[in-house]
A and B are shown apart, each in its own frame.
Chain A
Amino acid sequence: MPVTTVAAGEWLERARALKEEGWWLMDLCGLDALQLGHENRFQVVCQLLHSERKERQTVHVDATGEPPSLPSVIEVWPTVDFMEREAYDMFGITFEGHPNLTRILMPDEWEGHPLRKDYGVGKVAIEFIAQPYVQIDSPLQSPKPREAGVRTDVLGQTAKADPPAEEVTS
């Protein structure tokens, strides 16, 4: 399957030419190439299908700038409406000229773009740091550490004065 890369500036023109040739756009999704060693971090990957020639091709479009952006092709292929919104939602790629570029899968007030590679799963980084030991007074919590000479029952409460302290060996 042939793969071509198009710069953001040429994308709209290229899309029009492809549409003229009879290509259908079947899929559009974002790609964060952070760990792939590409020059450009954010890309949009389009899968095109030609029903008469029974061919497929893949077009990568570089999204440049901050936030990464490229022109929307919604006027060429109206089907990209949801797909571009998804790419925006998941990667923060903005599509210039899209009439309704809002979050589609995540809630509107969500922060961050979850499919970016630097977006942690679970969002909050979990760090295992040794916490100072906290004594809990509730009898239902774990028993207090034993002090020498003091017998505690299973709930950690100090047993009655009986039996005498010298009998406790452990």
Chain B
Amino acid sequence: MTIAPKGDAAIAKPTAGAIREFEARGHGAFVETLDDNRMVINMGPVHPSTHGVLRLLLELDGETVHRCEPIIGYLHTGMEKECEDQNWRGAVTIVTRMDYLSPFFNEQAYSLAVEALLGIEVPPRGKYIRTLIAELNRLSSHLVWFGTQGLDMGAMSAMFYGFRERELILDFYEMVTGLRMNNGYFIPGGVWEDLPDDWEGPLRTIVALMPGRIDEYEELLTENPIFLERTRGVGVLTNEAAIALGAAGPVARASGVDWDLRRDMPYEAYGDVEFDVPVDTDGDVYARYVVRMAEMRESVKIIEQLMAAMPDGDHKNMDPKLMPPPRGEMAKSMEAVIHHFKLMTQGYTVPPGEAYAAVESPRGELGAYVVSDGGSSPYRVHVRDPSFVNLQSLGPIAIDGLIADLIACIASVDPIMGGVDR
């Protein structure tokens, strides 16, 4: 298969904003014909294939996309500002709502940053639980991607299959954290609750089931001639473009950027597990599909290893200045009551400073930049969301493609608008 090189022109030229004058001219919201028969079309923000409230302004020549400018902000709710009003523990419940398909990664990045500021350690069991839940989350997030990618290509059953297995994983979250989404389970210092006593059974079911189910998905799409026709050589992102545009995660790895934070800069328990990092060099929609499918298999492997090696002990750092005391202790100890009162009203303070912590989310590097002024609430929380950055590569990869292929490109970049707009 040959790939026509896009050249650096597509990278170096950012969204120039000229297309935005379209709005200023006030020709209605949908379509405008330019002098040389090119057409400006508005796609979204309410469109079934844009995965949320993504709006694209497209300049078309017939069916060919000449320019594609993502316009975002329709889901902006000022979460970074809201974090400044919460205490350090409470901000977890805000950041978890950013990228709503991978909530645990948001919590993990934020918690790691706050832990770096506090200078505390998470006990081994806490680290293992976090890693385990995070890998499950990667699985459930990729399952949604699989479903929507299939759906956008016309394979509706992919959606049913993907969501069927995701449900099992969400049930496990519910069992462990009490919630299916937006869990607020990882906190600075560990995880809020230990795993329930019978956690291994449901997880064993998932681990035993998934490889076979992934085979099923592959039977459905991997060699499906229609799927191949619509994905191979479509939406190509070259290696240089991927690096220049800061693409991360599967999008970059499908373009030959061999970089995975879990392997290259291990955090939590990733140093103790063995797994491969799937890399492809084609850079097209199909390569991103292949990389994500392989990642799902690797996640299952990681989960198996973590289950076998789950250490005993505390699930969180039991420093009484950080964690509320166990309920039973409060009936016996005055000190515990005081600690509980202080933590529940004011919360703990964090030494002044700044920290940046990054984790490998299903979409790439998810970083949290946290600044403390020494008070009991964050001074500034910024989340580097991978969807936000990856969305910039949508313009270059859509250029010179067909408008129908653009739909495949959006699904393969897998942007989550909650994370993009924050």
Contact = CB atoms under 8 A, between A and B. Distances in A.
Given A75-B12, A81-B15, A99-B17, A51 B264 contact: yes
B78 interface: yes
B384 A36 contact: no
Given A107-B73, A115-B80, A47 B15 contact: no
A152 interface: no
Interface stretch (B39-47, B125-133, B240-248, B398-406): B240-248
Nearest to A81: B14
B15 A100 contact: yes
Contacts of B373: 35-36
Contacts of A115: 80-81, 380
A78 B382 contact: no
A56 interface: yes
A40 interface: no
B19 to A, nearest CB: 10
B245 A78 contact: yes
Nearest to A29: B382
Contacts of B356: 1, 27, 47, 56, 58
A54 interface: yes
B365 A79 contact: no
Contacts of A103: 73
Interface in B1-25: 11-12, 14-17, 20
A28 B55 CA distance: 23
Is the contact region of chain B dominated by helix, strand, or loop, or is it mixed? mixed
Most chain B CB within 10 A, of A82, A99, A107, A114, is at A82
A114 B81 contact: yes
Given A31-B380, A115-B80, A105 B73 contact: yes
B17 to A, nearest CB: 4
Contact of A26 (B16, B76, B367): B367
A46 B377 CA distance: 23
Contacts of A31: 371, 380
Interface in A43-88: 45, 47, 49, 51, 54, 56, 58, 74-75, 77-83, 86
A47 B14 contact: no
A93 interface: no
Interface string B244-274: 1110100000000001000011000000000
Contacts of A26: 246, 248, 358, 365, 367, 384
A27 B367 contact: yes
A26 B371 CA distance: 18
Nearest to A103: B73
A74 B14 contact: yes
B287 to A, nearest CB: 20
A29 to B, nearest CB: 4
Nearest to B15: A100
B354 A58 contact: yes
A42 to B, nearest CB: 12
B171 interface: no
Given A79-B244, A82-B391, A99-B16, A105 B76 contact: yes
A82 B17 contact: no
A169 to B, nearest CB: 46
Contacts of A35: 373, 379
A82 B393 CA distance: 11
B81 A45 contact: no
Contacts of B64: none
Contacts of A90: 80
Given A26-B246, A54-B265, A104 B73 contact: yes
Contacts of A80: 246
B85 interface: yes
B349 interface: no
Contact of B369 (A27, A99, A100): A27
Interface string B314-348: 00000000000000000000000000000000000
B14 A99 contact: yes
A123 to B, nearest CB: 11
B73 A106 contact: yes
Contacts of A106: 73, 76
A82 B245 CA distance: 10
A97 B139 CA distance: 42
Interface of A: 1, 3, 24-27, 29, 31-32, 35-36, 45, 47, 49, 51, 54, 56, 58, 74-75, 77-83, 86, 90, 99-100, 102-107, 114-115, 121
Q: Which 6 A-B pairs have the closest CB atoms?
A: A79-B246, A100-B17, A27-B384, A105-B73, A105-B76, A29-B382
24 contacts: A25-B246, A26-B365, A27-B384, A29-B369, A31-B371, A31-B380, A35-B373, A35-B379, A47-B356, A47-B358, A54-B264, A78-B14, A78-B245, A78-B392, A79-B392, A81-B14, A83-B389, A99-B16, A100-B15, A102-B20, A103-B73, A105-B76, A106-B76, A115-B80
